Amino acid sequence: MFGKIMLAAALALVACDRDKESVQPEKAAATPAATVQAVTYPADTAPGPAADGDRAMQYVKEICKFGPRYLGSAGHKKVEDYIKSHLNGDEVEDDSFTADTPVGKFPVHNIIAKYPGTKDGIILIASHYDTNYPLRKTSFIGANDGGSSSGLLLELANQLRGKTRDGYSVWLVWDDAEEAMKPDGSGGLPNEMPFSEDSLYGITHLVEKWQADGTLKKVKALILADMIGDADLNVDRDTNSTPWLQDVVREAATRLGYQSHFFGRQMEVSDDHLPFLKRGVPSVDLIDFNYGYNDSYWHTTEDTVDKLSPRSLQIVGSVILETIRILDRMEPLPPK
């Protein structure tokens, strides 16, 4: 997760919603129910999917052992190789380019693993794996911010590999250069710039490439995961995300009994899903943007593996898999 201004905006939104609820509680309660009723979910009697949280946690720990993963660092290269080494035998697309940033040019590598399905269309599951460049002189390793979701995607690869998918193709995307390269503009320093102009380098390149070659129009949905390993898991309801897709995630969480970990708070989040939303791709960001008291671990050297839990990874991983299973059987998907 790259920016801090958004948190301030988010808190304002949360406060605003609370105000609304206190004045008009019946209206606040009616809105989400109306959204849910607009979509019919296929019945599902088969046992729910179960991602292996311990195995995902092991991947997160191994990613963090390489040290900081900011652009151009030795740790970054090691994590690229580490991710690819776990995808041996899978169909892998390598999207490499040079990003021109305010602090120089850097090689950027998006890694995409593809698991084909029988249905026409693609569901993307994405996570950034880079760590924050302005924190490069610290021991910041982004265990939750970039580490947790990247390890979880390796576990999702295990769940998808070698099976015949009776549904959409699923592509896992480890995207690079999500983080801003300069401080985020919230501190008023002369060298700062708005993070909207200095972030999302990797995913923006990938979206533009897929738009040019026709791939993007096959994408039915993007599920983005970021900061999902916190032992105190409360995934936020991001107001930028596509409401009907959020409702599918809520349905998946409810079916698995994990609904208490989802969407208790509402905020606006700018993240890797924005370039997809801009081009009409239904997208949901699964992010728990309250990491430590008052988000105090975010973008600090306190973002370490001891704050995470295998259970949180298992919950989010299983909910993602269940979400895919519901999407596979929803005919037709709601309009974009």
Q: Which residues bind Zn ion (CB under 5 A)?
A: 1, 145
Return the number of the residue (1 or 152) whose C-beta is nearest Zn ion: 1
Question: Please, which residue, 134 or 310, has the CB nearer to Zn ion?
Answer: 134
In the bound state with Zn ion, the residue whose beta carbon lies nearer, of 129 and 210, is: 129
Burial of 104 (C-beta count, 10 Å sphere; 0-12/13-18/19+): exposed
Q: Point out which residues pair with 126 in neighbouring strands.
A: 173, 224
Query: CB of residue 298 vs Zn ion: minimum separation in angstroms?
Result: 7
Rounded to a whole number of angstroms, the minimum distance from the CB of residue 108 to Zn ion is 16
Nearest residue (CB) to Zn ion, 180 versus 207? 180
User: DSSP letter string over 281-313?
Assistant: --EEEEE----SGGGTTTTSTT--GGGB-HHHH
Q: Report how far residue 269's alpha carbon sits from residue 66's, in angstroms, rounded to the nearest whole number.
A: 28
Tokens 């949180």 — which residue? 312
Best CA proximity match to 83, nearest among 113, 50, 122? 113
User: Cβ closer to Zn ion: 69 or 325?
Assistant: 69
Please state the closest distance from residue 277 (CB atom) to Zn ion, in A.
19
Could you tell me the smallest distance in angstroms from the CB atom of residue 232 to Zn ion?
18
Q: Which residue has the tokens 């052992």?
A: 65
CB 211 to Zn ion: min, Å? 26
At closest approach, how far in Å is the CB of 269 from Zn ion? 12
Contacts with 302 (C-beta within 8 Å, 6 or more apart), sequence order: 292, 296
Instruction: State which H helix or E strand residue 129 sits in.
Output: none
- Terminal CA-CA length for the chain: 25
Nearest residue (CB) to Zn ion, 70 versus 244: 70
Instruction: Supply angle C-alpha 1, 111, 71, rounded to 5.
Output: 50
Q: How far is the CB of 131 from Zn ion (least distance, A)?
A: 7
Q: How far is the CB of 284 from Zn ion (least distance, A)?
A: 19
CB of 117 or CB of 185, closer to Zn ion: 185
CB of 175 vs Zn ion, minimal distance in Å: 13
SS (H, E, C) 35-46: HHHCCCCCCCCC
CB within 8 A of 183, min separation 6: which ones?
A: 134, 189, 191, 192
Nearer to Zn ion, 145 or 238 (CB): 145
- Residue entry with tokens 């979701």: 149
Residue whose CB is less far from Zn ion, 36 or 193: 193
Spatial contact of 307 and 292, defined as CB atoms under 8 Å apart: yes
Q: Are strands 91-101 and 262-267 parallel, antiparallel or unpaired?
A: unpaired
